[in-house]
């Protein structure tokens, strides 16, 4: 295993299949800064061939087990797969909920599977910007299928999962109030629904609910209507059908131009977010020093309101 | 009722107790732009006397009913109250989930109560920045208690509720997986816990869970430990105790200096966010035009990676 830490050397080692080098490059991406930029530049030129599948759903939906079962099915078809398990940090503690993802350990010794948890450790823009970079790295070193699994259904996670080429939303029979808050978000990103733990009662009601919501969303007649599959991840029931549905969506997306337009949209969005992030970085630099102290004191003394103070702060920083 | 639309005239009318004028000024804040800035300037100079209470919890926790019961209790003590019900827009649809908050209608005709739903309708920075402005307006026109109720437990809502002087987190017996994703965030903002619907089973288990989490959070010995109250909003059971707990926290916060330091911290954070928002606004202006088109095409053709393209885009926009 290469012990190099230079991104260029690591990239060469990763291209040669050195898993330690891949892991270390992903750590560089997580940490952000110049080394991450270098990894990004190296990856970008070589990427564009991988297909990404997002897996999202509420905690407890059996998403990890289903992802693991899907990996098992893909491996039985001799397909190599890389998995990024996305663990968002709490906005309050800065700490990451790093799961061990024990169920994924089934595949830990399989050289055709690469699994990695991702958290933010300083990357500007957080997981929303680090994840596409990690995907491009895996893409650049030759992985053709990349699964992106998110821990929960928070806004960041739905955003990240929704940026995949095909997004699978995992839910359970009796799916109800628990994810109410983000139902609209989930409906909007789903290309495939998996009703997991389908050996429990309530599958048909859940299916009806989903069909009704799809009816209400008034898809154009020729567009993709997300299929609704019943799965039991622990036994593998429905997993081949899930794989078929993912491939059916891929075929549709490629043929209809949806894949191309989605990717173009994502690329523009990413560029916009990076521009915004760079400006944020600038804001953090600005909001220090004597001038900043004087302005915050003026606001505290109610001599100035915050918007006026911000404009004063930015005077001479932004070109007109 | 004044039909003026000039912020200065409206402010005078609002100071004189014209509820229509207050409502229209809140609409100006929601819509953002120059009129909102003017309202902000008028409010800022006169604000600083109100005490804010945040009420947050998962949808279905009975938060609105509990807020309504708390209002009823405050009114029985002849205390005037203003309520802002915060409805965040979906990040995916742009639409607001405006609830009618039927249970609040009990207080609709009481002149000692002012209730208003807030959504973003163009305010830069969204509810995170519009809410403190709305609070300052109500403060400036003489409201001494302001309740800020949020619809759900998403990141924005937790942020908004956490910016109150005292934050009440409402949950239910058997509080479990449903809000797992944001448990850490809720724990961090809670000054008071209300286990609502406490006539159901599981109150003691939930209390034990919370106590355990509080033990794990290793609060300094002399700091405030959030009390855990059992309430039944529909009958009013536990509501006087909730009001007492809020006042106990207020007394602690005022005496310990926590209130002052929290407010100073919030003021700095708000200023920082406004600076960032101004930069965002500039980014939106930047990310258009021929130069932007050329750069996105270079990225699509993999001639440039997104970070390099963003830096090129910002060249000459930011002073060194």
pLDDT averages per 10-residue partition of chain B, 320 residues:
74 91 91 88 92 88 91 96 76 33 66 84 69 94 94 72 91 67 74 95 91 80 89 96 98 94 89 83 79 86 87 71
The per-residue pLDDT for range A5-42, each reduced to its tens digit, is 788 899 999 999 899 999 999 989 988 888 888 999 99
Residues B15 and B136 in one domain: no
Question: B260 and B136 in one domain?
Answer: yes
Q: What's the pLDDT at A259? A: 94
Closest CA to A61 of A225, A186, A147, A188: A186
- Average pLDDT (A89-114) is 55
> Is residue B81 located within the same domain as residue B164?
yes
Domain presence at residue B11: yes
Same domain, residue pair A228 and A87: yes
For A124, other C-beta atoms within 10 Å of its C-beta total 17
Using the 3D structure, point to which of B228, B243, B264 is the last residue of a domain: B264
Alpha-carbon gap, residue B136 to A241, rounded angstroms: 56
Please judge whether B59 and A316 are an interchain contact, meaning their C-beta atoms are less than 8 angstroms apart.
Answer: no
Over residues A145-203, the pLDDT tens digits come to 999 998 766 667 777 888 899 999 999 998 654 445 467 778 888 999 999 999 999 99
Task: Please report whether residue B196 resides in a domain.
Answer: yes
In a domain, B319, yes or no: no
Interface touch A47/B302, C-beta < 8 Å: yes
A310/B275 Cβ within 8 A: yes
Clarify whether residues B254 and B294 are in a common domain.
Answer: no
Does some domain include residue A182? yes
| A108-139 tens-digit pLDDT | 788 899 988 887 655 556 777 889 999 999 99
Same domain, A213 and A138: yes
Q: Which residues of chain B are within 8 Å of residue A272 when distances are taken between CB atoms? A: 283, 287
B307 CA to chain A: closest CA distance, Å? 7
Domain that holds residue A230: 48-265
Domain shared by A169 and A304, yes or no: no
Among B41, B58, B280, select the one facing A276 at the smallest CB separation: B280
Rg (CA), chain A: 22
- In a domain? residue A293: yes
Q: In terms of domains, do B196 and B54 share one?
A: yes
Does residue B183 lie in a domain region? yes
| d(CA B71, nearest CA chain A) in Å | 25
Interatomic CA distance for residues A9 and A28, integer angstroms: 13
Contact A181 B267 (CB under 8 A): no
Dump pLDDT digits (tens) for A245-287: 999 999 999 999 999 999 988 888 888 888 878 877 777 777 8
Q: Is it the case that residue A78 has pLDDT exceeding 90?
A: yes
With beta carbons less than 8 A apart as the criterion, state whether A118 and A84 touch.
yes
Tell me whether residue A319 is in a domain. Answer: no
Do B110 and B158 fall into the same domain? yes
Minimal Cβ distance to A188: which of B43, B47, B92: B92
> Distance from A139 to chain B by nearest Cα, in Å?
14
Cα separation of A91 and A85, whole Å? 18
Residue of B153, B188, B308 lying closest to A181 (CB–CB): B153
Residues A138, A151: one domain?
A: yes
Count Cβ–Cβ pairs < 8 Å, chain A vs chain B.
189
Domain boundary among B28, B46, B64: B46
Residues B249, B62: Cα–Cα separation, whole Å: 22
Last residue of a domain, one of B264, B282, B298: B264
User: Is A36 found in the same domain as A3?
Assistant: yes
Is A258 part of a structural domain of the chain?
yes
Residue of B44, B162, B287 with shortest CB distance to A275: B287
Same domain, B88 and B132: yes
Number of domains in chain B: 3
Point out the residue among A41, A180, A313 whose CB comes nearest to the CB of B305: A41
pTM above 0.90, yes or no: no
CB atoms within 10 A of CB B149: 30
Helix (H, G, I), strand (E, B) or coil at A19: helix
Q: Do A307 and B185 touch (CB under 8 A)?
A: no
A180 and B90 within 8 Å at the Cβ level: the answer is no
Half-sphere exposure of B174 (CA within 13 A, CB side): 9
Angle, in degrees to the nearest 10, between helices B306-314 and A258-286: 50
């Amino acid at each position: 295993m290469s012990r190099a830490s230079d991104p260029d050397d690591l990239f060469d080692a990763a291209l040669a299949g050195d898993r330690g080098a891949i892991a270390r490059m992903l750590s560089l991406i997580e940490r952000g800064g110049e080394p991450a930029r270098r990894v990004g530049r190296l990856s970008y030129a070589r990427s564009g061939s991988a297909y990404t599948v997002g897996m999202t759903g509420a905690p407890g939906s059996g998403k990890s087990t289903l992802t693991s079962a899907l990996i098992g099915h893909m491996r039985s078809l001799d397909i190599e797969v890389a998995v990024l398990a996305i663990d968002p940090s709490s906005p309050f503690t800065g700490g990451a909920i790093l799961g061990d993802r024990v169920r994924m350990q089934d595949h830990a010794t399989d050289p055709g599977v690469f699994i990695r948890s991702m958290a933010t450790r300083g990357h500007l823009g957080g997981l929303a910007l680090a994840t596409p970079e990690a995907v491009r790295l895996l893409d650049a070193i030759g992985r053709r299928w990349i699964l992106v699994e998110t821990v929960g259904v928070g806004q960041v996670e739905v955003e990240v999962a929704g940026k995949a080429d095909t997004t699978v939303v995992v839910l359970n029979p009796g799916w109800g109030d628990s994810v109410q808050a983000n139902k609209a978000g989930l409906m909007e990103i789903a290309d495939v629904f998996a009703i997991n733990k389908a050996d429990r009662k309530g599958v048909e009601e859940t299916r009806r609910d989903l069909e009704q919501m799809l009816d209400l969303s008034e898809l154009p007649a020729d567009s993709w209507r997300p299929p609704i599959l019943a799965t039991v991840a622990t036994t593998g029931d429905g997993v081949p059908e899930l794989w078929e549905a993912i491939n059916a969506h891929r075929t549709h997306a490629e043929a209809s131009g949806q894949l191309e337009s989605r990717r173009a949209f994502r690329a523009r969005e990413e560029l916009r977010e990076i521009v915004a992030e760079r400006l944020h970085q600038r804001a953090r630099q600005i909001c220090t020093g004597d001038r900043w102290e004087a302005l915050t004191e003026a606001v505290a003394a109610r001599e100035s309101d915050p918007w006026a103070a911000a404009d004063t702060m930015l005077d001479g920083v932004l070109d007109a």
